[in-house]
A and B are shown apart, each in its own frame.
Chain A
Amino acid sequence: MSFTHKHILGIEQLAKEDIKLILDTADAFKEVNSREIKKVPTLRGKTIINAFFEASTRTRLSFEIAGKRLSADTVNISGSTSSVVKGETLEDTAKNIEAMSPDIIVIRHGHSGSPHYLAERVGCSVINAGDGTHEHPSQALLDLMTMREHKGSIEGLEVAIVGDIAHSRVVRSNIYALSKMGARVRLCGPGTMLPIGIERLGNVEVCTDMREAIKDADVVMMLRIQMERQSNIMIPSLREYARFYGLNPTNLLLAKPDAIVMHPGPMNRGVEISSVVADGVQNVILDQVENGVAVRMALLYLVSGVESMQTK
């Protein structure tokens, strides 16, 4: 089957077959990253703009490396050094970027829906690299790739996601992706961090007791307490949070013995995850980062095909 999505705005819009194709393509691209010459000419002559209006190390670096390994020209702009600080609107910034005819804009923005707004107003492809508290599709895809690698298949997996569910775009993308691929999701966090009705997004169960959430889970995914989004006002103290919702060697024993531990990063060691677990044998956190490059190569490649077919 062929890929038909010009934009990657969220997992919500993707079908199960699309997700499978992206993961298979990423598997193939992963081999390039282990070569001595880590570059293929696939996207020669394409220009990719990484417009990051919000802080990011991993995702921006990952998209940039992915583009470069496919021989595309990647250019970065960040919020603090762009005309945004002079008061330019997102639409004007986008129009100006578009006037320089890029092929793909990768956007991260603090406001949910910004990539969708952009996609309606520019001619090139748009890839969402995280919008507010809405979606972070490439993160969910690299999570699925890592689960598939370690567990063989995603179907039937019990995935516990613990932490600040309310502020997490990673959670929303993962709920869509995991539900579509046939896994079950258990969400867990303090009541203040669990939005009402989130279970309607997919195959989801919600609970506030962490022990219940991770019991016999195949995958335990810990989320970061997001200081920059005022997570701290929703909990009495970080110490108390760590005690009830932190992953440590003791409560990890409740999960299946071969369960894997994931974290989208950046980690707050000693808060949501103890260092012993973060560096333990069950952690696959750096595999996630490694797979991130392959997944983003797959996304850039697949949307490029659709984009160039349409402009031709």
Chain B
Amino acid sequence: MAKAETIILDKAGIDRAITRVAHEILEYNKGCVDLALIGIRTGGDHLASLLQSRINKIEEIEVPLGAVDITMYRDDLAARGSKPIGKTEIPFPLDGKHVVLVDDVLYTGRTIRSAMDALMDFGRPSTIQLAVLIDRGHRELPIRSDYVGRNVPTAREEDVVVVFDENQNPVEVKLVKP
């Protein structure tokens, strides 16, 4: 039997959400002085690069972009075994930066915890902010997002999937029921 799927956001909806989040980031940080975007692999890194080009369109400034892979910082090696490790690329110093972490779906908050630990190993950012495309609730840690594309109430059994095309552009967001 095919699983029941609902489309939460289509391509245009994702686009609008990213534009709004880009404006919110600029408004909150009063421009992009010392701003940096770091996406969490995989998914968040593609969204971070979209945010970068959107900010570039608005302010005509290229903010530094990085990607972090959190596999080395996970707390569930025993439960899930050794996952393949992706590359972490932060080609600029983090000290004094206002870092916006970017992820596709915020769920338990454990990924964000790992990502923050990873960032701390690279330097001492002034602030770390969090931007996500979807916040689906069910936090297990005291973590919240600063910028949200869409809040989606979900059940734990459900799954939220962000679909990317071959050019790593987000196409749609689906809620998959078990």
Report chain A residues within 8 Å CB of B3: none
User: What are 17 A-to-B residue pairs whose CB atoms are below 8 Å?
Assistant: A3-B81, A24-B85, A25-B85, A29-B72, A29-B85, A32-B72, A37-B121, A37-B122, A39-B121, A40-B72, A41-B72, A43-B77, A301-B85, A304-B77, A309-B79, A309-B81, A312-B78
Is A2 in contact with chain B by the CB < 8 A criterion? yes
Tell me whether B82 and A301 are in contact (CB under 8 A). yes
Report chain A residues within 8 Å CB of B72: 29, 32, 40-42, 70
In this complex, the member of B78, B81, B87, B118 whose beta carbon has the largest number of chain A beta carbons within 10 angstroms is B81
Q: Of B77, B79, B81, B87, which is within 8 A of A28 by CB?
A: B87
Tell me whether A25 and B84 are in contact (CB under 8 A). yes
Report chain B residues within 8 Å CB of A228: none
Within A1-31, the residues touching B (CB, 8 Å) are 2-3, 21, 24-25, 27-29, 31
Tell me whether A21 and B84 are in contact (CB under 8 A). yes
Interface size class of chain B, counting residues whose CB lies under 8 Å from the partner chain: 20 to 34
Is B86 in contact with chain A by the CB < 8 A criterion? yes
Is A76 in contact with chain B by the CB < 8 A criterion? no
| CB of A277 to closest CB in B, whole Å | 33
Chain A interface residue count, CB cutoff 8 Å, equals 28
Tell me whether B73 and A2 are in contact (CB under 8 A). no
Assuming the A-B contacts A28-B69, A35-B122, A39-B121, are A306 and B81 also in contact, with contact meaning beta carbons closer than 8 angstroms in the complex? yes
| CB of A232 to closest CB in B, whole Å | 44
Is A302 in contact with chain B by the CB < 8 A criterion? yes
* A70–B80 CA distance with the chains assembled, in angstroms: 18
Is A305 in contact with chain B by the CB < 8 A criterion? yes
Is A56 in contact with chain B by the CB < 8 A criterion? no
Q: Of B82, B86, B123, which is within 8 A of A3 by CB?
A: B82
Is B88 in contact with chain A by the CB < 8 A criterion? yes
| CB of A35 to closest CB in B, whole Å | 7
Is B159 in contact with chain A by the CB < 8 A criterion? no
Is B117 in contact with chain A by the CB < 8 A criterion? yes
Tell me whether A41 and B86 are in contact (CB under 8 A). no
Report chain A residues within 8 Å CB of B73: 40-42
Assuming the A-B contacts A40-B121, A41-B72, A41-B117, are A31 and B81 also in contact, with contact meaning beta carbons closer than 8 angstroms in the complex? no
* A304–B78 CA distance with the chains assembled, in angstroms: 8
Binding site for A on B (CB under 8 A): 69, 71-74, 77-89, 117-118, 121-123
Tell me whether A305 and B88 are in contact (CB under 8 A). no
* A312–B78 CA distance with the chains assembled, in angstroms: 7
Is A308 in contact with chain B by the CB < 8 A criterion? yes
* A312–B118 CA distance with the chains assembled, in angstroms: 27
In this complex, the member of A2, A39, A311 whose beta carbon has the largest number of chain B beta carbons within 10 angstroms is A2
| CB of B138 to closest CB in A, whole Å | 24
Tell me whether B78 and A309 are in contact (CB under 8 A). yes
* A126–B81 CA distance with the chains assembled, in angstroms: 17
* A37–B78 CA distance with the chains assembled, in angstroms: 25
Tell me whether A31 and B87 are in contact (CB under 8 A). yes
Tell me whether B87 and A27 are in contact (CB under 8 A). yes
Minimal Cβ-Cβ distance residue in B for A32:
B72
| CB of A57 to closest CB in B, whole Å | 27
Within A139-156, the residues touching B (CB, 8 Å) are none
Tell me whether B87 and A304 are in contact (CB under 8 A). no
| CB of B111 to closest CB in A, whole Å | 15
Tell me whether A2 and B85 are in contact (CB under 8 A). no
Counting from the closest, the 5 A-B pairs by CB-CB distance are A305-B82, A305-B81, A308-B78, A28-B85, A40-B72
Report chain B residues within 8 Å CB of A309: 78-81
Report chain B residues within 8 Å CB of A28: 69, 71, 85-88
* A28–B85 CA distance with the chains assembled, in angstroms: 6
* A194–B87 CA distance with the chains assembled, in angstroms: 42
Assuming the A-B contacts A39-B121, A41-B72, are A2 and B81 also in contact, with contact meaning beta carbons closer than 8 angstroms in the complex? yes
* A39–B118 CA distance with the chains assembled, in angstroms: 10
| CB of A37 to closest CB in B, whole Å | 5
* A42–B114 CA distance with the chains assembled, in angstroms: 11
Q: Of B82, B86, B123, which is within 8 A of A304 by CB?
A: B82
In this complex, the member of A3, A31, A37 whose beta carbon has the largest number of chain B beta carbons within 10 angstroms is A31
Minimal Cβ-Cβ distance residue in A for B120:
A37
Minimal Cβ-Cβ distance residue in B for A2:
B81
